[in-house]
A = this chain, B = another copy of it.
Amino acid sequence: MSAAPHLLPEPILVVGSGLIGTSVALALTRAGAQVLLSDVDQANLDIAVAAGAGRPLTDGDVPAIVVVAVPPRRAGTVLAEASAQWPAATLTDVTSVKESVLAEARALGADPSRLVGGHPMAGREVSGAAGALASLLDDRIWVVTPLPESGIEHVRNVHRLITSCGAQPVEMGVREHDDAVALVSHAPQVLSSALAGQLCPADPDAVRIAGQGLRDMTRIAASNTALWTDILVSNAGPVADVLDRIAATLDRTAAALRRTASGELVEESAVADLLVDGVNGQARIPGKHGAAPSSYREVLVQIADRPGELGRLFTAVAEAGINLEDIRIEHVLGRPSGLVGLSVRPESGDAMIETLRARDFDVRG
């Protein structure tokens, strides 16, 4: 899960002991690297040190790589300061926006030949050092955005850093990255929050009949608001572009619905087109291991919600020797029970159903 540590220059300084910074430090320590830590907040630093993420930076330390893991609004400044303080160090960051952060770092004098942007795709709803995990970056994509001036040895160092953390480096252009995260992460956050916000003034009975769809769509609305304000403002242009496109789609759909309802014009095709586009777009999202989601078959099992039922189910699945590609659990309100969706490769579907039925599970094909 890690590169040979001798290829990774040391020591590595991680600035910022939040969720991502501490997880990166824990992963590097796990890989055998010497890790230095700093944070403006002594309490955060203490938690990270106590967790075994590294030792505090002291005067005279000369890091070979500096990983800046502070919020976007501070990252440019911290990169520029590190560039001045350690004139040979490779400089990278882990913030979720790249253009504004890297432009600010350069404007403040950071050496572009040593500067290589980075963004590990491993967000969580929790934040802070206490939520950090050595395994948080395992198998994750970590986007690398070199500048035109970035020296090849510094780009290589960042690749080694990433593989040492157990993640997968993927190179992208700075603007390409920002447009991509606006689409797949930042605008969805706004959408989730905007939808969840509609529930504030809603009738309690309306909220009571909410199903799994609404739950899924509002899960990320519970994220850290201060961090997300910072992220959205730092990637304002690309996010606003996506929001405009979605708002225009909603406006068009609302207008088509109203005209159809009033009998003024029948515009069902506009509504149908929206839904068909949605089906096609959804199908582009890779499944686990990068496979298309449509390449799996979902076997549904109704289980009683009592201790032991899930254990019995997953033990039966394991004993059948069938690997699960995905799992989904639908909850129902009121009395305890649940519907478990087990996604398997199509050729394993019949065997899975047969195995579970033989053990008296309430299963359907």
Contact segment of A10-18, A36-44, A269-277: A269-277
- Bound state CA distance, A187 and B237, in angstroms? 26
Is the Cβ of A208 less than 8 Å from the Cβ of B170?
A: yes
Q: A141-B208, A247-B251, A302-B133 are in contact. Are A285 and B193 (CB under 8 A)?
A: no
In the assembled complex, A58 has its CB within 8 A of some CB on chain B: no
Of A285, A293, A327, A339, which is in contact with the most chain B CB atoms at under 10 Å from its CB? A285
List the B side residues contacting A286 at CB < 8 Å.
207-208, 210, 333
List the B side residues contacting A111 at CB < 8 Å.
none
Determine the residue in chain B with the shortest Cβ distance to A332: B139
Of A191, A286, A316, A324, which is in contact with the most chain B CB atoms at under 10 Å from its CB? A191
In the assembled complex, A354 has its CB within 8 A of some CB on chain B: no
Is the Cβ of B261 less than 8 Å from the Cβ of A237?
A: yes
Is the Cβ of B194 less than 8 Å from the Cβ of A246?
A: yes
Q: A183-B198, A185-B211 are in contact. Are A261 and B233 (CB under 8 A)?
A: yes
In the assembled complex, A195 has its CB within 8 A of some CB on chain B: yes
Q: A217-B191, A249-B197, A258-B240 are in contact. Are A285 and B207 (CB under 8 A)?
A: yes
Is the Cβ of B216 less than 8 Å from the Cβ of A216?
A: yes
CB-contacts of A208-262 with B (<8 A):
208-211, 213-223, 225-226, 228-229, 232-233, 236-237, 239-240, 242-247, 249-251, 253-255, 257-258, 260-261
Contact segment of A80-88, A101-109, A148-156, A306-314: A306-314
* Of the residues B232, B318, B322, B364, contact of A133 by C-beta under 8 Å: B364
Is the Cβ of B200 less than 8 Å from the Cβ of A277?
A: yes
- Bound state CA distance, A254 and B170, in angstroms? 29
Additional A-B contacts beyond A130-B365, A179-B203, A219-B282 (14; CB < 8 A)? A135-B302, A187-B198, A188-B213, A197-B277, A200-B280, A213-B220, A222-B279, A222-B293, A228-B275, A237-B258, A311-B319, A313-B314, A326-B329, A326-B331
- Residues of A whose CB lies within 8 Å of any CB of B are 121-123, 130-131, 133, 135, 138-141, 143, 168, 170, 172, 176, 179-181, 183-185, 187-200, 202-203, 205-211, 213-223, 225-226, 228-229, 232-233, 236-237, 239-240, 242-247, 249-251, 253-255, 257-258, 260-261, 268, 271-272, 274-286, 288-290, 293, 300, 302, 305-319, 321-324, 326-327, 329, 331-337, 339, 362, 364-365
